Structure 1
Amino acid sequence: MTFIKTTEQESNYTNLEDMTISEIISSINKEDITVPLAVQTALPQIEHLIEQVVIKLKKGGRLFYIGAGTSGRLGILDASECPPTFGVPYNLVIGIIAGGDQAIRKAVENAEDSTTQGWLDLIEYNISSNDVVIGIAASGTTPYVISALRHCNEQGITTGCITCNSQSPLALTAKYPIEVTVGPEFLTGSSRMKAGTAQKLILNMITTASMIQLGKVKGNKMVDMQLSNNKLVKRAINMIMSELHISEAEASVLLNKYKNVRDSITNGRK
């Protein structure tokens, strides 16, 4: 089967510079609507990977995302949201980007082309077979990511990937690939658009489903969230009020004492 990089194919639109703003955003929106449908076709693959993530996390392992450019940044974004949302340690879900932390803001030249650095970056975290590594690359051809997963496979470390090209080298390397073919971008080759949106949707699924399976959610509430600002404190108080059927003042007393929604509810019932 010939590998065709659909993320690099010619846009379905041309003469973009002649479009009005209305035409531009309407066209982008038309393309974006197709993304959730593309993700839907990959739900079985997504489920299989999440099952592996849950198994490893329940055994004390960690989840790693590794990518370059937009893909790397999206992995870091998802990882960074887990502690405040679910109250888990910052070293449970870890995002790694080619070129290091400086690449989060500014592109690092040739970083994604290295066939050795990805594995070296993982080694810094004492990665082991207890962990899961998910490579993220819209193209599915990023050497930094592919080589890292190959080393992981050799070491018996569970590997998955998120890519937007079917039968890509990355998908063929990962043990649990997720392939979401979103087709050509509105702006030819700009995979930060539909491909990036698809990756973000999938990342949302992976960590949210995993954390629910780990017991970090009660009902539909983030009972282990970090109370890092006034908005979240207010949300916490409302959760306690709703769960225990008590006044705002009583809920505030519990929260001030136990500093956590789950503990406040548990002790409030005693």
Structure 2
Amino acid sequence: MARGDDLEAILARLRRAAADGQHLGATASLRIAVLLGLDVLTIDLITAGAGTLELVWCDPADGLGPELGNLQYTLGDGPTVEAAQEGYTVSEPDLATTDQARWPLFLPAAMRFPARAVIAAPLRVRGGIVGVLTGYRATPGAMTASQSRDFRRVRHGLLPLLVRSAHSLSTSGSGRGEGLRCYREEVQQAAGFLAVTLAIPPDQALARLRAHAFHHNRSLTDLARDALNRRLRLDDHTL
């Protein structure tokens, strides 16, 4: 089967999943990124109230996608952040030659990872942005016209599943929606633990964790694990 036929089959599967009321979990093993000429696809959901980006889906599920998503989450800077805040599609064919003034924190940090090209597109529902679909490739170069068209078709196909998963997340008593992987669950737990320890609001606790991770050039997830396992001293002197 040709790659184009593969994509048509996946788009048909996305339509069936949406018609059947399924969630993003239905796409977990479809290997969509490679059919678009990308190495990674991610979806970040904009959380209600706080307005932060929460990584909820990656193709493939682990590796570069979560790492780059967590990097932008820690720094508050990067293509996914820009797409969410400004509401337009962001595309850079070569991160190594991108003007550093665009993403002064993200670009130098991203050079430690095998990512050289990126596209990030807002996901809209009734005119409002609910999330961002981001694609990364390890080699530089712009997407072809057909790849860009297929990227838009995949974005359209994934959106109904994201909306259903997001609704499930917002109404679930456990705080997670069916089909959504909580990539930063440990970070949220650590922020809650810090909030109780220092008697500060949860958003301030999260901001302190992010600042500490940035200042010490550490993964936010690893930092959260240290906090939860009591390997990190949580007080006003360290955070």
TM-score range, shorter chain: 0.3 to 0.5
Structure with greater strand share of residues: 2
More relative contact order, 1 or 2 (CA 8 Å, 6+ apart) = 1
| Higher Cα Rg, which structure | 1
Structure with greater helix share of residues: 1
What TM-score do the two structures reach when normalised by structure 1?
Answer: 0.31
What TM-score do the two structures reach when normalised by structure 2?
Answer: 0.33
